[in-house]
Amino acid sequence: MPLDPKEHLPVYEQIIEHICGLIAAGIHKPGEPLPSIRALALELIVNPNTVQRAYQELERLQLVRTRKGLGVFVTDNGFDVARRTSEAAVHARFAQGIKVGQAAKLHPGRLETIFRKALNGDADSRDTAAPDRPRNTESKP
Amino acid sequence: MPLDPKEHLPVYEQIIEHICGLIAAGIHKPGEPLPSIRALALELIVNPNTVQRAYQELERLQLVRTRKGLGVFVTDNGFDVARRTSEAAVHARFAQGIKVGQAAKLHPGRLETIFRKALNGDADSRDTAAPDRPRNTESKP
Amino acid sequence: MPLDPKEHLPVYEQIIEHICGLIAAGIHKPGEPLPSIRALALELIVNPNTVQRAYQELERLQLVRTRKGLGVFVTDNGFDVARRTSEAAVHARFAQGIKVGQAAKLHPGRLETIFRKALNGDADSRDTAAPDRPRNTESKP
Amino acid sequence: MPLDPKEHLPVYEQIIEHICGLIAAGIHKPGEPLPSIRALALELIVNPNTVQRAYQELERLQLVRTRKGLGVFVTDNGFDVARRTSEAAVHARFAQGIKVGQAAKLHPGRLETIFRKALNGDADSRDTAAPDRPRNTESKP
DNA sequence: GTGGTCTAGACCACA
DNA sequence: GTGGTCTAGACCACA
What are the tens digits of pLDDT across the range D63-119? 999 999 999 999 999 999 999 999 999 999 999 999 999 999 999 999 999 999 999
Q: Tens digit of pLDDT for each residue in A39-87?
A: 999 999 999 999 999 999 999 999 999 998 899 999 999 999 999 999 9
Q: How confident is the model at residue C6 (pLDDT cuts 50, 70, 90)?
A: confident
Helix (H) or strand (E) holding A65: strand A64-67
Distances D41 to B71, D12, D15, D48, D73 between C-alpha atoms, Å: 32, 11, 10, 5, 17
User: What is the per-residue pLDDT for A124?
Assistant: 59
Q: What is the separation, in whole angstroms, between the first and last Cα of chain C?
A: 41
Nucleotide nearest to B69 (CA to C1'): F2
Angle between helices A48-60 and A11-24 (to 10 degrees): 50
**Nearest alpha-carbon partner for A85 in B103, B69, B81, B8:** B103
**Nearest alpha-carbon partner for A113 in A96, A99, A134, A92:** A134
From the centroid of its chain, how far is CA A89?
Answer: 6
Whether the CB of B93 is below 8 Å from some CB of chain A: the reply is yes
**DSSP 8-state symbol, C64:** E
Is the C-beta atom of A10 closer than 7 angstroms to strand F?
yes
Distances D126 to C13, C20, C28, D132 between C-alpha atoms, Å: 21, 17, 23, 15
Q: How far apart are CA C110 and CA B52, in angstroms?
A: 40
Question: Do D54 and C91 touch, CB atoms closer than 8 A?
Answer: no
Name the residue facing B93 among A2, A86, A100 (closest C-beta).
A100
Per the document, the length of chain A is 141
CB atoms near residue C53 (< 10 Å): 18
* Contact: D91, C97; criterion CB under 8 Å: yes
The three-class DSSP label of residue B73 is: strand
Q: What is the mean pLDDT of chain D?
A: 88
Is the C-beta atom of D70 closer than 7 angstroms to strand E?
yes
Say yes or no to pLDDT of D136 above 80.
Answer: no
CB atoms near residue D49 (< 10 Å): 12
- Counting Cα atoms < 13 Å in the Cβ hemisphere of D79 gives 13
Q: Tens digit of pLDDT for each residue in C112-128?
A: 999 999 999 877 544 43
Is the C-beta atom of D140 closer than 7 angstroms to strand F?
no
Question: Do C86 and C20 touch, CB atoms closer than 8 A?
Answer: yes
Which residues on chain B are in Cβ contact (under 8 Å) with A118? 91, 94-95, 98
Q: How confident is the model at residue D54 (pLDDT cuts 50, 70, 90)?
A: very high
- Spacing of A49 CA from E9 C1' in Å: 37
Q: How far apart are CA C11 and CA C50, in angstroms?
A: 7
